[in-house]
Chain A
Amino acid sequence: MSSRLQVEFAGVPFKNPVVMASGTFGFGREYADLFDIEQLGGISSKGLTLNPRSGNEGIRIWETPSGIMNSVGLENPGVEGFIAKDLDWVNSLDLVNVVNVGGHSIEDYVQAVERLNDVNLDILELNISCPNVKQGGMNFGVKTDLASEVVRTIRKVCKHKLVIKLSPNAENIVDLAKACEAEGAEGISLVNTFLGMAIDINKRKPVFNNGYAGLSGPAIKPIALRMVHQVSHAVNIPVMGLGGITNWQDAIEFIMAGATVVQVGTATFMKPDKALDIIAGMERYCEENNIANISEIRGIV
């Protein structure tokens, strides 16, 4: 691999700009058995909360045209469980270690982030947008003033590089991103899943126990791309773009829209090492178009 894909994000060097999206890759162990995950740029961990969570009851995944809806409900071992079992392993890999943190109250966020202050990681990605958990992230990610409050509070306690993961369900995603920047976030990632719904017409009930669930995959790509374009042209901090990226052409589009790093999520379910195909394709594209470094085309659209 040449240096064509090397980028820097908020001062963190990436050997290539492809990160596995939170919730689709666990902590990497399962996929490490299947392919050389050190060829990736980084991994964003399964979303962690202060305490372990067993997640939602009922159906958790539903296929849609060109996408999937999920309602996992942040099943995770908690920050302490992650530190005890997986953190050292992730840190031992030649990868950017992005640790994703969610919460149900500002106090939960603060305690989880404070605990993570004691350990090594590269970037802390704050999930203010998971739409799955009742009374959860949704509120913080929809209203600009609530997002500002949580980012302001977390920025004061967080010793790590802080990236805020935005919800596409935000009332005004550009204003919300600007507020995150103003409160001291070092980067933005977007978008999380879109709130969707499916109904079981035989039972005459929603498919998901929570009623609504998060839509991801190729179905959301055009909207995600538009939001990444808007946000990355409105802020001066770097952006990780995601939402339905399935092939290298999609990834290049997100870079041209203004993303420094891209995240691949749902596509991994098509083929475990889909992200490696994306990296290879991006490299080839740069080579064929005499692009010495991918940053030359960042935000050119």
Chain B
Amino acid sequence: MATVLKNIAVSDDFYLLKASGKFDGKMGQFCMLRAWDEYPVLSRPISIFDCDDEGISFLYKVVGQGTEILAQLKEGDDIDVQGPYGTGFPDVKGKIALVGGGIGVAPLHLTAKVLKAAGNTVDMYLGFQSEALLKEDYEAVCDNLIINIGGYVTDDINPAEYDYILTCGPEIMMKVLYNKVKGTGAQLYVSMENRMGCGVGACLVCSCKTSGGNKKVCKDGPVFKAEEVFADEQ
């Protein structure tokens, strides 16, 4: 059981929670969070925002019963952090763009931090409906931060400038990006979202169709090559 080190509202409905403990959290992975006993039944899969010697952080949006309970947690409270789970973003080299929409920006913070520390050029394109989240935190981990409020973040990027583009956000945003990236030579990786049960690859409720057959979003993903999951789509 981990301890809550902090849990602050960064904007309406968006919270940043840090839990104590040594976690080997990798780019684009998630944890199953739980701060209650039996009900609600399911733990909540939440992307890793950051990970350091002190603990592991999660940026999350309050959307239902589970995240409402998480939002009530205070410093010193217990929280069960299961994981890290999943296959995250690959450790790529070159000129890299990270494209995030809404709460999809959460896993891109650690991703930018790790990729930049490895010597890559990292540009971030983050789209929000009304207000940018944790602008300074994102600025600190990338070379260029481009923020779009209320528009389409996919309009801001020229994919041809990049070797790799990693994205997380609404599926429609990622599909638009996929169509824009196609044929430019940039390689696109997308972080998929689905309702999860076990979080570890056993129950198959989060299966997603890919060019290689059904894959588990929780274990084989959440990150996939874009063409694996979107190739059949327009």
A interface, CB within 8 angstroms of B: 23-26, 30-31, 33-34, 46, 54-55, 59-63, 65-68, 70, 72, 75, 217-218, 246-247, 266, 268-272
Contact = CB atoms under 8 A, between A and B. Distances in A.
* B80, B198, B199, B202 interface centre (most CB from chain A within 10 Å): B202
A67 B197 CA distance: 11
Interface stretch (B32-40, B51-59, B100-108, B145-153): B32-40
A31 to B, nearest CB: 6
Interface in B182-234: 195-207, 209, 213-214, 219
B214 A269 contact: no
A247 B38 CA distance: 9
A63 B199 CA distance: 15
A67 B41 contact: yes
Contacts of B207: 54-55, 60, 72, 75
A34 B200 contact: yes
Nearest to B213: A54
Interface of B: 34, 38-43, 65, 80, 82, 195-207, 209, 213-214, 219
Contacts of A268: 198, 202
A50 B137 CA distance: 53
Contacts of B219: 30
Contacts of A31: 200, 202
Given A55-B207, A218-B41, A61 B214 contact: no
A247 B65 CA distance: 22
Given A63-B40, A68-B41, 5 more contacts: A23-B203, A30-B198, A54-B207, A70-B197, A247-B38
A137 to B, nearest CB: 17
B41 A61 contact: no
A72 B219 CA distance: 17
A270 B200 contact: no
Given A66-B41, A75-B207, A60 B195 contact: yes
Contacts of B209: 54
A199 B198 CA distance: 23
A55 B195 CA distance: 15
6 contacts: A24-B202, A26-B203, A34-B200, A63-B65, A70-B197, A218-B39
A55 to B, nearest CB: 6
B139 to A, nearest CB: 37
A217 B40 CA distance: 11
Contacts of B201: 26, 30
